[in-house]
Amino acid sequence: MSSRTTDRRDRFARSWKLLGIPSKSKWKGSLLNNRILSRAMSRLMDRFQSQTLPILEDTCYEMGKEDCKQLQDTLNVKDTSASSCLEPMEMICLLNGIDSEIISKNKNIASMKINACPFSDVLVGVVPSIVVCKNYFRGTIQTINKNATFIQPEMKCNEDEVCEFVVNI
């Protein structure tokens, strides 16, 4: 292995560690938990969808808020503008190796285009990725500005080329 590859891996590992991402050993230990929880959620959705879906939506929203609080500190986001609401999601895309672009129209309106879905492998077989996406994304933007709302004119899950989120304050 070349030293260039090792240097790149070391920088990537340090970046993840700065964000508080769990170590590889903790990740491996949680695989069984994740599989059990995923299967249990799938069964709950099959039997009690009308009661389980709101709980999953709320959980995704709360996870978006929690992740955003951590990223907000790391990214030093102090502004509450529409484009600032998109910065944590841009970092999430970057950490997942997904290209994204923030387009700021003014302080109250900004949009972001994402070239792939960062949620396509979350709760697979339990709920469509759009359920996770919309609620998680709403949690991230409302952590930055509680008055923020968004629309999605384009969605990868609807066979569009990109996902587009337009944030309004």
Q: Where are the domains of the chain?
A: 49-168
Give first-to-last CA distance, the chain, whole Å.
49
- Residue 86, C-beta contacts closer than 8 angstroms, at least 6 positions apart: 102, 110, 112, 141, 165, 167
Each of the 169 residues of the chain gets a pLDDT tens digit; together they read 555 556 666 666 666 666 555 555 455 556 777 778 888 888 888 888 888 889 999 999 999 999 999 888 888 888 889 999 999 999 989 888 899 999 887 889 999 999 988 888 888 888 888 999 999 999 999 999 999 999 999 988 888 888 999 999 9
Enumerate the H helices of the chain as residue ranges.
Answer: 3-18, 24-29, 31-75, 82-95, 129-144
Cα gap 165→150, rounded to integer Å: 6
Residues 49-168, CATH architecture: 2-Layer Sandwich (3.30)
This prediction has a pTM of 0.75
